[in-house]
Amino acid sequence: MAEALRFKVGTARARPGAWTTGTLTLGHYPDGPITTPVNILCGTRPGPVLWVQSAIHGAECGGALGLLRLFKRIDPKRMKGAIIGVMAANPTAFRVLGRNTPYDGENMNRLKAGSTLAVPQADKVKETAPSEAKQVIQAQSADFNAYRERLAAGVPAVKSTEPARQATGRVQAQVDDKKAPAAASPDRLKLSQGGVTTGAASAMLAIAAAEPRTPLHMRMATAR
């Protein structure tokens, strides 16, 4: 194994044929360091080292998820060189899901090493003639529209294979029920002549015939 593959980024140490993790200190709060997760995917043979970072804008989480998927799909034992993945280049904005750094409102994507981001004052902006500013905006808009049209033209058209569906007719809410209603049948009690009934039995049968819908325990209470 080449010694060049044994390097360190923050607390993460590269190991040939392995995926290692750690933290990288980017700055300091008044009470502690500002850190971000760092991953190293190291091959078994010497080769180029690729540095990839994500979430310069804290609300853009797609890069961090893409890095994780990339590291999971690559077998380091079959690659050469290494990949360094910084999961959140702007951890303070990432923690609040904000585009800019919450402490100073700066856009890290507009900062460069050795330079200072300067916002012109209002009087300086007024020195630009409105007609010139309008031309610049129109030129940028035209360039963006042309770029968007080129992208749209490169997308193949998708043809639907499903047959066209048609439906005709009307919906009628009224329903005519032409079936004659069934005649209500009165409650009847038929007594057989198979034997002689006692006085108590005759009283119960009479109560049942007179009040067929009354519960049995209420009929018995009335009879008593």
Tell me the per-residue pLDDT of 107-147, one tens digit each, with 9 for 90 and over.
877 776 765 655 566 777 778 888 888 887 888 788 878 87
Determine the pLDDT at residue 133: 80
Instruction: Tell me the pLDDT of the chain averaged across its residues.
Output: 75
Residue 186 to residue 114: CA distance in whole angstroms: 104
Q: What is the pLDDT of residues 22-64, one digit of tens each?
A: 999 988 888 888 999 999 999 999 999 999 999 989 888 888 9
What pLDDT is attached to residue 221? 44
Q: Alpha-carbon distance 177 to 158, whole Å?
A: 50
pTM comes to: 0.49
Residues of the chain with CATH 3.40.630.10: 1-104
Task: Tell me how far apart the alpha carbons of residues 220 and 224 are, in angstroms, rounded to a whole number.
Answer: 6
| Residue 183 pLDDT greater than 60, yes or no | no
pLDDT of 161 reads: 60
CATH class of the domain whose range is 1-104: alpha beta
Q: Which helix (H) or strand (E) holds 151?
A: helix 130-153
At residue 195, the 3 state secondary structure works out as coil
φ and ψ at 39, to 5 degrees?
Answer: -125, 145
What φ, ψ does residue 46 adopt, rounded to 5°?
-60, 150
Out of 55-59, 103-107, 186-190, 199-203, the most confident range is 55-59
Q: Name the more confident of 164 and 113.
A: 113
Residues 76-98 have a mean pLDDT of: 91
User: Using CA atoms, how far apart are residues 10 and 72, in angstroms rounded to an integer?
Assistant: 21
Which residue type, as a one-letter code, is found at position 161?
T
Neighbours of 20 (CB within 10 A): 17
State the burial class of residue 117 (Cβ atoms within 10 Å of its Cβ: 0-12, 13-18, 19+). Answer: exposed
Phi, psi of 109 (to 5 degrees): -70, -10
Long-range contacts of 187-194 (CB under 8 A, 24+ apart): 187/212, 187/213
Give the residue carrying structure tokens 């209420």.
Answer: 218
